[in-house]
Amino acid sequence: MSDLAWIYHRLGQSMKAEELGAIALEKRKRIIGENHPETLRTMNILALIYQSLDQCIRAKELGTVVLEKRQRILGEEHPDTLTTMSDLAWIYQCLGQSTRAEELGAIALEKCKRIIGEDHPETLRTMNILALIYQSLDQFTRAKELGTVVLEKCKRILGEEHPDTLATMRDLA
């Protein structure tokens, strides 16, 4: 159910995604518990769905819970914790809290580079989020520099026609 909610989200069907994600979260909490890694994954998906629906306060509340739990349960440097950190940075951006978004995004990027490597797709995703945050802070040179690095790496690692490469191209444009 969580995966299907994410697919609906990616297809732009956010209302359907929210409905299915909320049902999946309720069931996961009831069946496997609030702290289970899969429950936390579903919570993170739902936070991103809320953000896409411009329900940024709900997204921040849920994303903050996920980050705190993942830090406590999985540790500060677990890849899932890092994903949540970069997702929460993007949610702060949605709230117009660009300084907090930049701070969190920079921490997530530094940890991603160190822990999972500079060329890992999640590191590239985090770099792209930070480039977009720089753009919102009118730091266009930094945004362009980082976005260019992301695009070059995406082309080399994922290929020129990969959806993430194309999205990075769009963001850089």
Q: What is the DSSP string of 65-110?
A: HHHHHHHHHT-TT-HHHHHHHHHHHHHHHHTT-HHHHHHHHHHHHH
- What does the pLDDT read at residue 99? 93
Radius of gyration of the chain (CA): 16
- Residue 99 CB: number of other CB atoms within 10 A? 10
- What does the pLDDT read at residue 147? 96
- What does the pLDDT read at residue 140? 95
- Residue 166 CB: number of other CB atoms within 10 A? 13
**Which tokens in the block code for residue 92?**
């702060």
User: pLDDT per residue over 53-112, tens digit each?
Assistant: 999 999 999 999 999 999 999 999 999 999 999 999 999 999 999 999 999 999 999 999
Residue type, position 74, single letter: L
Residue type, position 64, single letter: T
Asked if 80 contacts 123 with a C-beta cutoff of 8 angstroms, the reply is no
- What does the pLDDT read at residue 129? 95
- What does the pLDDT read at residue 122? 94
- What does the pLDDT read at residue 120? 95
Q: Give the mean pLDDT of the chain.
A: 95
- Residue 97 CB: number of other CB atoms within 10 A? 16
Domain range summary for the chain, segments of one domain joined by +:
1-74
- What does the pLDDT read at residue 114? 97
Note the pTM of the prediction, 2 decimals: 0.90
Report the chain's terminal Cα–Cα distance, integer Å.
Answer: 35
- Residue 29 CB: number of other CB atoms within 10 A? 15
